[in-house]
């Protein structure tokens, strides 16, 4: 009997037959990154909101097994034709699909696939196509296929009113155009599952449309400094590999056209960090007091605070180390723990702590973007927030132009640079929060009313430690690189 496919397995097989094979035969090897778990949680929240938009809708439960779900779907299509079905379940050719929303229309049935993305993407259309192929194959003609995705212009009015959150796009023609290929691919993927693990080399398909959960397992061990570390250098790395260069240190001088690539090659081959004289000069010229600032922010597919839009970067925390004079350092911080809209309290505390003058040192353009968001939400504070944005000094372009260490391996992110200039500041020694994704996850747990108070307190402490380390890192960076 052919292997059973689901819609997500079909999409995995579309990305890579080896991925499908591993998911089915070696599920214990799956390694999901935290961002994938957050995407999944956003999707569940969105589905719950969508179901709230159809008060008469019927949920087809699967707790009693998929056979029960198939029977319940058949029953409700007959007995409750006027009611929308959630997770209506169909099977054909050993492919099983569960549809987000299925409604009866004058012409037949309308299938609505709900996506937390802001735009329709190609793999969404395949998702719709496989569902349409199964549902129609099971004897239920579809009148239309619709993709409902998040409309980022929606402003949440509050009180659970999510009308207008979703933009609906009719993709009937696009889904139908793909069904012949679905019909051809299904038996091919079932054959893959019946055989030995396919041999597929890693390549661009491993991260498109999503990072494959087997990427670490599939990536063969390589040299310590692979040519693929060249920043924005995928094309030249492919050329170098074709020429037989796997290790950047083997590439001859003059081979690389980009000055940055050549610099990275030369420093890597020398094994010694390079600081260009302009960088320490610029850093030493910064006046005191110096404010080192970092925000942590969250994005919601489904906004939870009135007046905010889907996927806005909304800050909930900041840390600021203030260096009054060389080596004389104070610390200020803000963290919302209430779960209420934190923007006003956060902005007022920030303006009070950062004074009116002196440079505010950040690493990337993120803080400027957050200040603009705050100014847009808080018109009465906008002038002062914009004045604060004028004081920002972005260290990233300065460091990118003036410092490289072989251990940075082609990256100027603060996490790559810091261990090379201040190894005593170690993120791995922190608690549960060690990066931005971890901070978002901790914040969501912290404001969740079901989280016990002692757990919330521990998460808040981890968040404070993490954000404070980020700004202390900036102070150390400026101090160490300023010495030349
Ligand atoms: S990492 Fe790449 S090659 Fe390996 S299973 Fe995933 S998509 Fe396929």
Ligand 1 pocket test, candidate residues 14, 16, 216, most atoms within 8 A of CB:
16
Q: Are strands 290-298 and 360-362 parallel, antiparallel or unpaired?
A: parallel
Q: Tokens for 59?
A: 């949920």
Q: What is the mean pLDDT of residues 429-458?
A: 91
The response to whether residue 218 sits with its C-beta less than 6 Å from ligand 1 reads: yes
**Which residue(s) pair with 334 in the sheet?**
318
Residue 234: predicted pLDDT: 87
Per-residue model confidence (pLDDT) at position 221: 87
- Strand residue runs (E) in 181-242: none
Confidence band for 33, pLDDT divided at 50, 70 and 90: confident
Report the atom number in ligand 1 closest to the C-alpha of 21. Answer: 5
pLDDT of 428 above 80: no
Ligand 1 pocket check for 407: Cβ under 6 Å? no
- Its CATH architecture, for the domain 5-194, is Alpha-Beta Complex (3.90)
What percent of the chain stands above pLDDT 90?
Answer: 84
Structure confidence at residue 269 (pLDDT): 98
Note the pLDDT of residue 73: 96
Check residue 426 and give its pLDDT: 79
Separation between Cα atoms, residue 91 and residue 85, nearest integer Å: 16
* Per-residue pLDDT reduced to its tens digit, 264-288: 999 999 999 999 999 999 999 999 9
**Are 140 and 77 in contact, with CB atoms under 8 Å apart?**
yes
Question: Residue 407: is its pLDDT beyond 90?
Answer: yes
Q: What mean pLDDT is reported for the chain?
A: 94
Residue 36 has what pLDDT? 79
Distance 87 CA to ligand 1 centre (A): 29
pLDDT of residue 226: 96
Ligand 1 center to 4 CA (angstroms) = 21
Q: Where are the alpha helices (DSSP H) in 326-452?
A: 343-354, 366-377, 382-390, 395-402, 414-421, 436-447
The predicted-structure confidence for 364-375, as pLDDT tens digits, reads as follows 999 999 999 999
Determine if ligand 1 sits within 6 Å of the CB of residue 214.
Answer: yes
Helix (H) or strand (E) holding 102: strand 95-105
Single out the residue of 208, 267, 271 nearest to residue 234, CA to CA: 208
Give the per-residue pLDDT at 456. 95
User: What percentage of residues in the chain have a pLDDT greater than 70?
Assistant: 100
- Does the C-beta of 19 come closer than 6 Å to ligand 1? yes
Residue closest by Cα to atom 2 of ligand 1: 206
CA of 166 to the centre of ligand 1 (A): 33
Confidence at residue 142, expressed as pLDDT on a 0 to 100 scale: 95
448: pLDDT strictly greater than 80 = yes
Q: Do the Cβ atoms of 354 and 292 come closer than 8 Å?
A: no
pLDDT digits (tens, 9 = 90+) for 291-341: 999 999 999 999 999 999 999 999 999 999 999 999 899 999 999 999 999
* Per-residue model confidence (pLDDT) at position 81: 86
45-79 core/surface letters (b: 16 or more CB in 10 A; e: else): ebbebbbeeeeebbebeeeeeeeebbebbbebbee
The predicted structure's pLDDT at residue 342: 97
120 CA from centroid of ligand 1 (Å)? 24
Q: Position of tokens 């610029």?
A: 282
What whole-number distance in Å separates Cα of residue 409 and Cα of residue 412?
A: 9
Pocket test for ligand 1, best of 14, 205, 209 (most atoms within 8 A of CB): 205
The closest residue, in CA terms, to atom 5 on ligand 1 is: 19
Q: Which atom of ligand 1 is nearest to the CA of 218?
A: 4
Assign 32 a pLDDT band (cuts: 50, 70, 90). confident
* Probe residue for ligand 1, chosen from 33, 198, 202 as the CB with the greatest number of ligand atoms within 8 Å: 202
Q: What are the residues whose beta carbons fall under 8 Å from the beta carbon of 476, sequence distance 6 or more?
A: 418, 421, 422, 425
Does the pTM surpass 0.85? The reply is: yes
User: 20 CB under 6 A from ligand 1?
Assistant: no
Q: Is 3 exposed, middle or buried (0-12, 13-18, 19+ CB in 10 A)?
A: middle
Domain ranges of the chain: 5-194, 243-272, 278-482
Mean pLDDT of 419-443: 87
Q: Tell me the pLDDT tens digit for each residue of 111-163.
A: 999 999 999 999 999 999 999 999 999 999 999 999 999 999 999 999 999 99
At residue 432, the pLDDT reads 82
Please state which of the four CATH numbers 1.20.1740, 3.30.420, 3.30.1120, 1.10.1220 is assigned to the domain occupying 278-482. Answer: 3.30.420
Work out the burial of residue 221: count CB atoms within 10 Å of its CB; fewer than 13 is exposed, 13-18 middle, 19 or more buried: exposed
Q: Write out pLDDT tens, residues 165-211.
A: 999 999 999 999 999 999 999 999 999 999 999 999 888 899 888 88
Q: Which residues have CB under 8 Å from 86's CB, separation 6+? A: 47, 51, 54, 57, 58, 59, 60, 100, 101
| Cα(478)–Cα(472) distance, integer angstroms | 10
Cβ-based neighbour number of residue 158 at 10 Å: 13
pLDDT of residue 427: 78
Centre of ligand 1 to C-alpha 18, Å, is 6
Q: Please give the pLDDT value at position 137.
A: 95
91 has a pLDDT exceeding 80: yes
Sorting pLDDT into bands at 50, 70 and 90, what band is 258? very high
Nearest ligand 1 atom to alpha carbon 212: 6
Q: pLDDT digits over 369-406, tens only?
A: 999 999 999 999 999 999 999 999 999 999 999 999 99
Residue bearing the CA closest to ligand 1, atom 4: 218
24 within ligand 1 shell (Cβ under 6 A) = no
* Ligand 1 centroid from CA 27, angstroms: 14
Name which residue sits closest to atom 3 of ligand 1, judged by CA: 202
Spatial separation of the C-alpha atoms in residues 266 and 248, rounded to whole Å: 9
Position in ligand 1 atom list of the atom nearest CA 213: 6
30 ligand 1 Cβ < 6 A? no
Is 278-482 in the same CATH topology as 5-194?
no
Looking at ligand 1, which residue's alpha carbon is closest to its atom 7?
Answer: 206
């Amino acid at each position: 009997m052919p292997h059973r496919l689901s819609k997500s397995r079909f999409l995995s097989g579309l990305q890579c037959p080896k991925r499908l094979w591993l998911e089915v035969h070696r599920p214990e090897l799956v390694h999901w990154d935290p961002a994938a778990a957050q995407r999944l949680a956003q999707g569940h929240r969105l589905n719950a909101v969508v179901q709230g938009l159809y008060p008469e809708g019927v949920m087809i439960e699967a707790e009693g097994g998929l056979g029960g779900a198939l029977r319940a779907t058949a029953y409700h299509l007959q007995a409750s034709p006027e009611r929308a079905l959630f997770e209506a379940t169909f099977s054909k050719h050993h492919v099983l699909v569960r549809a987000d929303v299925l409604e009866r229309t004058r012409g037949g049935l309308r299938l609505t696939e709900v996506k937390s993305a802001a735009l329709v993407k190609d793999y969404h259309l395949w998702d719709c196509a496989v569902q349409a192929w199964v549902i129609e194959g099971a004897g239920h003609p579809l009148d239309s296929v619709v993709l409902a995705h998040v409309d980022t212009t929606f402003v949440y009015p509050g009180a659970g009113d999510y009308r207008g959150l979703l933009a609906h796009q009719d993709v009937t023609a696009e889904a139908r155009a793909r069904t012949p290929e679905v019909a051809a691919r299904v038996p091919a993927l079932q054959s893959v599952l019946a055989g030995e693990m396919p041999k597929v080399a890693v390549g661009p398909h491993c991260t498109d449309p999503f990072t494959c959960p087997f990427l670490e397992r599939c990536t063969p061990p390589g040299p310590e400094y692979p040519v693929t570390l060249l920043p924005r250098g995928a094309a030249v790395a492919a050329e170098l590999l074709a020429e037989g260069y796997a290790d950047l240190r083997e590439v001859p001088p003059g081979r690389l056209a980009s000055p940055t690539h050549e610099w990275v090659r030369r420093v890597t081959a020398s094994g010694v960090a390079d600081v260009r004289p302009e960088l320490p000069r610029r850093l030493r010229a910064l006046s005191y007091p110096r404010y080192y600032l970092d925000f942590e922010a969250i994005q919601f597919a489904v906004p939870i605070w009135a007046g905010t839009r889907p996927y806005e970067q909304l800050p909930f925390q900041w840390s600021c180390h203030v260096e009054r004079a060389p080596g004389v350092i104070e610390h200020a911080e803000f963290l919302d723990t209430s779960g209420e809209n934190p923007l006003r309290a956060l902005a007022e505390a920030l303006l009070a702590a950062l004074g009116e003058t002196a440079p505010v040192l950040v690493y990337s353009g993120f803080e400027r973007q957050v200040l603009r968001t705050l100014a847009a939400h808080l018109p009465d504070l906008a002038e002062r927030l914009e004045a604060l944005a004028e004081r920002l000094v972005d260290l990233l372009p300065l460091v990118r132009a003036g410092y490289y260490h072989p251990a940075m391996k082609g990256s100027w992110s603060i996490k790559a640079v810091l261990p090379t200039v201040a190894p005593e500041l170690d993120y791995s020694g922190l608690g549960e929060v060690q990066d931005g994704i971890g901070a978002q996850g901790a914040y969501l747990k912290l404001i969740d009313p079901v989280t016990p108070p002692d757990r919330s307190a521990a998460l808040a402490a981890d968040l404070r430690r993490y954000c404070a380390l980020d700004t202390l890192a900036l102070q150390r960076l400026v101090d160490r690189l300023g010495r030349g």
